[in-house]
Chains A and B, each alone.
Chain A
Amino acid sequence: MEARERPEHLLALKVMRLTRPTLSCPVIVTSDSKDLPGNLLNSDLKNDVTSVSGVETLTAGQFLQLPQSFGTIYLGETFSSYICVHNDSKEIAKDVTVKIDLQTNSQRIALSGHSVDPSELKPDESIDHVIHHEVKEVGTHILVCEITYTTPDQKSMSYRKFYRFQVLKPLDVKTKFYNAESDEVYLEAQVQNITVGPICLEKVALESSHLFTVSALNTSANGESVFGKVNVLQSQSSRQFLYCLAPQPSLTVDCRLLSGATNIGKLDMVWRSNLGERGRLQTSQLQRMAPDYRDIRLSVQEVPNIVILEEAFSFACKIINTCDRVLDMTLWLEDGTTSNSGLMWSGVSGRPLSRLEPGASTLLNLCLIPLAAGLQIISGVRLTDAALKRTYDFDDLAQVFVMQKS
Chain B
Amino acid sequence: MNSNQPPSLNQYFNQDTAPAVSGATFFDQISSPTSGTPIDSAMMKSVRETDPAQDLFSSNVVKPTQQNPVNTVFSNASQAAATHFHEISSTGKGEPAVCRIFSEPESPPSNISSGKNFFDLISSPPLGPTPGIAIDLSLPPSSSSSLLTSPDFTSTATEDGFISTNSSVAATPTATHDILASDDSFSKSAGFRPNEADRRRDAWIPSEKTRQALIAMATSAPGSYIPDKDMLTMPGVCIQEDMTDLVTDMVQQYLGSEEASKRKVLTMQDVTQDERGLRELIQAGCFRAAVNLTGRLLTIYGQGVGRSGKPSKHTLHSIQLWFTRIALLVKLKQFSLAETEAERFWDFDRPDLYFPFYPDLYGGRMGTLIPFNFRLLLAELPSHTGKPREALNRLHSVLATVRKILKNLESGLSEDGSPAELNAADSTESKRLWSNREIRTLHSIVNCSVSCKNYSLALEVLEQVLQKSNELPPLHRRALLSALGRLHLQLGDVVGAEQYFLSAGNLHKQSTAAIDGKSALSSNTPDLREFIDRGLLAVSQNAFHEALESFQKAADMDPANIMVLNNMAVCHLYLGRLREALAIMENALTSNPTQGLHEALLLNMSTLIEFESSHCNQKKLGLLKMLARYKGDGVSVGCLKLQ
Taking CB as reference atom, which chain A residue is nearest B179?
A: A57
Taking CB as reference atom, which chain B residue is nearest A80?
A: B574
B315: interface (CB < 8 Å): no
Asked if A20 and B540 make an inter-chain contact with CB atoms under 8 angstroms apart, the answer reads yes
B206: interface (CB < 8 Å): no
Asked if B16 and A18 make an inter-chain contact with CB atoms under 8 angstroms apart, the answer reads no
B13: interface (CB < 8 Å): yes
Q: Out of A4, A36, A72, which one reaches B34, CB within 8 Å?
A: A4
Per-position binary interface string of chain A over residues 154-187, scored 1 when its CB falls under 8 Å from any chain B CB and 0 otherwise: 0000011111111010000000000000000000
Asked if A272 and B492 make an inter-chain contact with CB atoms under 8 angstroms apart, the answer reads yes
Asked if A86 and B612 make an inter-chain contact with CB atoms under 8 angstroms apart, the answer reads yes
A113: interface (CB < 8 Å): no
* B320 neighbours in A (Cβ, 8 Å): 35-36
Per-position binary interface string of chain B over residues 502-524, scored 1 when its CB falls under 8 Å from any chain A CB and 0 otherwise: 00000000000000000000000
How many angstroms between the C-alpha atoms of A69 and B28 in the bound complex?
A: 10
Q: Out of A48, A55, A159, which one reaches B480, CB within 8 Å?
A: A55
What's the least CB distance linking A113 to chain B, in Å?
A: 14
B37: interface (CB < 8 Å): yes
A249: interface (CB < 8 Å): no
A47: interface (CB < 8 Å): yes
Q: Out of B32, B41, B46, B595, which one reaches A49, CB within 8 Å?
A: B595
Q: Out of B27, B108, B475, B607, which one reaches A70, CB within 8 Å?
A: B27
How many angstroms between the C-alpha atoms of A222 and B371 in the bound complex?
A: 47
Per-position binary interface string of chain B over residues 216-256, scored 1 when its CB falls under 8 Å from any chain A CB and 0 otherwise: 00000000000000000000000000000000000000000
Per-position binary interface string of chain A over residues 33-54, scored 1 when its CB falls under 8 Å from any chain B CB and 0 otherwise: 1111111111111111110111
B39: interface (CB < 8 Å): yes
Asked if B576 and A34 make an inter-chain contact with CB atoms under 8 angstroms apart, the answer reads no
Residues 439 to 490 of chain B near chain A (Cβ within 8 Å): 440, 443-444, 446-447, 450-451, 453-456, 459-460, 462, 475-476, 479-480, 482-484, 486-487, 489-490
Stretch among A195-203, A209-217, A388-396 lining the B interface:
A195-203
Asked if B377 and A29 make an inter-chain contact with CB atoms under 8 angstroms apart, the answer reads yes
Q: A40-B279, A63-B600, A69-B17 are in contact. Are A58 and B443 (CB under 8 A)?
A: yes
B541: interface (CB < 8 Å): yes
B282: interface (CB < 8 Å): yes
Asked if A32 and B371 make an inter-chain contact with CB atoms under 8 angstroms apart, the answer reads yes
Residues 592 to 643 of chain B near chain A (Cβ within 8 Å): 595-596, 598, 600-601, 603-604, 607-608, 610-615
Q: A68-B16, A161-B46 are in contact. Are A38 and B539 (CB under 8 A)?
A: no
Q: A31-B373, A59-B447, A59-B450 are in contact. Are A15 and B282 (CB under 8 A)?
A: no
B121: interface (CB < 8 Å): yes
Asked if A22 and B46 make an inter-chain contact with CB atoms under 8 angstroms apart, the answer reads no
A271: interface (CB < 8 Å): yes
Asked if B603 and A68 make an inter-chain contact with CB atoms under 8 angstroms apart, the answer reads yes
> How many chain-B residues does the 8 Å CB contact rule pick out?
134
What's the least CB distance linking B108 to chain A, in Å?
A: 8
Asked if A143 and B486 make an inter-chain contact with CB atoms under 8 angstroms apart, the answer reads no
What's the least CB distance linking B154 to chain A, in Å?
A: 16
Asked if A22 and B116 make an inter-chain contact with CB atoms under 8 angstroms apart, the answer reads no
Per-position binary interface string of chain A over residues 68-101, scored 1 when its CB falls under 8 Å from any chain B CB and 0 otherwise: 1111110000000110101010000000000000
A142: interface (CB < 8 Å): yes
B40: interface (CB < 8 Å): yes
What's the least CB distance linking B37 to chain A, in Å?
A: 7
Taking CB as reference atom, which chain B residue is nearest A2?
A: B614
What's the least CB distance linking B597 to chain A, in Å?
A: 10
Per-position binary interface string of chain A over residues 205-239, scored 1 when its CB falls under 8 Å from any chain B CB and 0 otherwise: 00000000000000000000000111110100000
Per-position binary interface string of chain B over residues 40-52, scored 1 when its CB falls under 8 Å from any chain A CB and 0 otherwise: 1111111111101
Asked if A37 and B279 make an inter-chain contact with CB atoms under 8 angstroms apart, the answer reads yes
Q: A18-B574, A37-B279, A86-B612 are in contact. Are A81 and B44 (CB under 8 A)?
A: yes
Asked if A65 and B604 make an inter-chain contact with CB atoms under 8 angstroms apart, the answer reads yes
B25: interface (CB < 8 Å): yes
How many angstroms between the C-alpha atoms of A28 and B614 in the bound complex?
A: 36
* A297 neighbours in B (Cβ, 8 Å): none
What's the least CB distance linking A61 to chain B, in Å?
A: 7
* A49 neighbours in B (Cβ, 8 Å): 562-563, 566, 595-596, 598, 600-601
* B43 neighbours in A (Cβ, 8 Å): 1, 14-16
Asked if B613 and A88 make an inter-chain contact with CB atoms under 8 angstroms apart, the answer reads yes
Asked if B575 and A70 make an inter-chain contact with CB atoms under 8 angstroms apart, the answer reads no
Q: Out of B25, B183, B489, which one reaches A32, CB within 8 Å?
A: B183
Asked if A159 and B40 make an inter-chain contact with CB atoms under 8 angstroms apart, the answer reads no
Asked if B46 and A59 make an inter-chain contact with CB atoms under 8 angstroms apart, the answer reads no
B430: interface (CB < 8 Å): no
Asked if A197 and B578 make an inter-chain contact with CB atoms under 8 angstroms apart, the answer reads no
Asked if B187 and A162 make an inter-chain contact with CB atoms under 8 angstroms apart, the answer reads no
Asked if B614 and A86 make an inter-chain contact with CB atoms under 8 angstroms apart, the answer reads yes
How many angstroms between the C-alpha atoms of A55 and B442 in the bound complex?
A: 12
Q: A69-B17, A71-B18 are in contact. Are A41 and B282 (CB under 8 A)?
A: yes
What's the least CB distance linking A157 to chain B, in Å?
A: 13
Taking CB as reference atom, which chain A residue is nearest B335?
A: A27
Asked if A38 and B603 make an inter-chain contact with CB atoms under 8 angstroms apart, the answer reads no
What's the least CB distance linking B109 to chain A, in Å?
A: 8
Asked if B47 and A196 make an inter-chain contact with CB atoms under 8 angstroms apart, the answer reads no
Asked if B600 and A162 make an inter-chain contact with CB atoms under 8 angstroms apart, the answer reads no
Asked if A33 and B600 make an inter-chain contact with CB atoms under 8 angstroms apart, the answer reads no
* A17 neighbours in B (Cβ, 8 Å): 42, 44
Asked if A105 and B57 make an inter-chain contact with CB atoms under 8 angstroms apart, the answer reads yes
Q: A20-B540, A273-B492 are in contact. Are A54 and B611 (CB under 8 A)?
A: no
B357: interface (CB < 8 Å): no
* B573 neighbours in A (Cβ, 8 Å): 18, 66, 82
Taking CB as reference atom, which chain B residue is nearest A73?
A: B25
What's the least CB distance linking B212 to chain A, in Å?
A: 29
A19: interface (CB < 8 Å): yes
Taking CB as reference atom, which chain B residue is nearest A230?
A: B456
How many angstroms between the C-alpha atoms of A271 and B601 in the bound complex?
A: 30
Q: A34-B120, A68-B603 are in contact. Are A40 and B42 (CB under 8 A)?
A: no
Q: Out of A20, A24, A142, which one reaches B600, CB within 8 Å?
A: A24
Asked if B494 and A202 make an inter-chain contact with CB atoms under 8 angstroms apart, the answer reads yes
B117: interface (CB < 8 Å): yes
How many angstroms between the C-alpha atoms of A16 and B41 in the bound complex?
A: 8
* A311 neighbours in B (Cβ, 8 Å): none
A62: interface (CB < 8 Å): yes
Q: A36-B118, A198-B491 are in contact. Are A21 and B440 (CB under 8 A)?
A: no
A277: interface (CB < 8 Å): yes
How many angstroms between the C-alpha atoms of A45 and B52 in the bound complex?
A: 55
B150: interface (CB < 8 Å): no
How many angstroms between the C-alpha atoms of A67 and B539 in the bound complex?
A: 14
Residues 126 to 171 of chain A near chain B (Cβ within 8 Å): 126, 128-130, 140, 142-143, 145, 159-166, 168
- What is the interface of chain A, defined by CB distance below 8 A to chain B? 1-6, 12-24, 27-50, 52-73, 81-82, 84, 86, 88, 103, 105, 124, 126, 128-130, 140, 142-143, 145, 159-166, 168, 196-200, 202, 228-232, 234, 271-278
Other than the known A16-B43, A17-B42, A168-B25, what 9 A-B pairs have Cβ atoms closer than 8 Å?
A15-B43, A23-B489, A30-B180, A32-B372, A36-B118, A58-B446, A82-B576, A198-B455, A276-B540
A to B CB contacts below 8 Å, 23 in the list: A4-B48, A19-B42, A20-B539, A27-B331, A30-B376, A36-B324, A40-B112, A64-B570, A66-B570, A68-B603, A69-B17, A70-B20, A70-B25, A70-B27, A129-B576, A162-B47, A197-B19, A197-B453, A230-B491, A273-B492, A275-B489, A275-B540, A277-B492
- What is the interface of chain B, defined by CB distance below 8 A to chain A? 13, 15-21, 24-27, 29-30, 32-34, 37, 39-50, 52, 56-57, 60, 108, 111-112, 116-118, 120-121, 178-181, 183-184, 187, 201, 275, 278-279, 282-283, 285, 320-321, 323-324, 327, 330-331, 333, 371-373, 376-377, 384, 440, 443-444, 446-447, 450-451, 453-456, 459-460, 462, 475-476, 479-480, 482-484, 486-487, 489-496, 532, 536, 539-542, 562-563, 566-567, 570, 573-579, 595-596, 598, 600-601, 603-604, 607-608, 610-615
Q: Closest 3 interchain pairs by CB? A: A276-B540, A54-B479, A272-B492
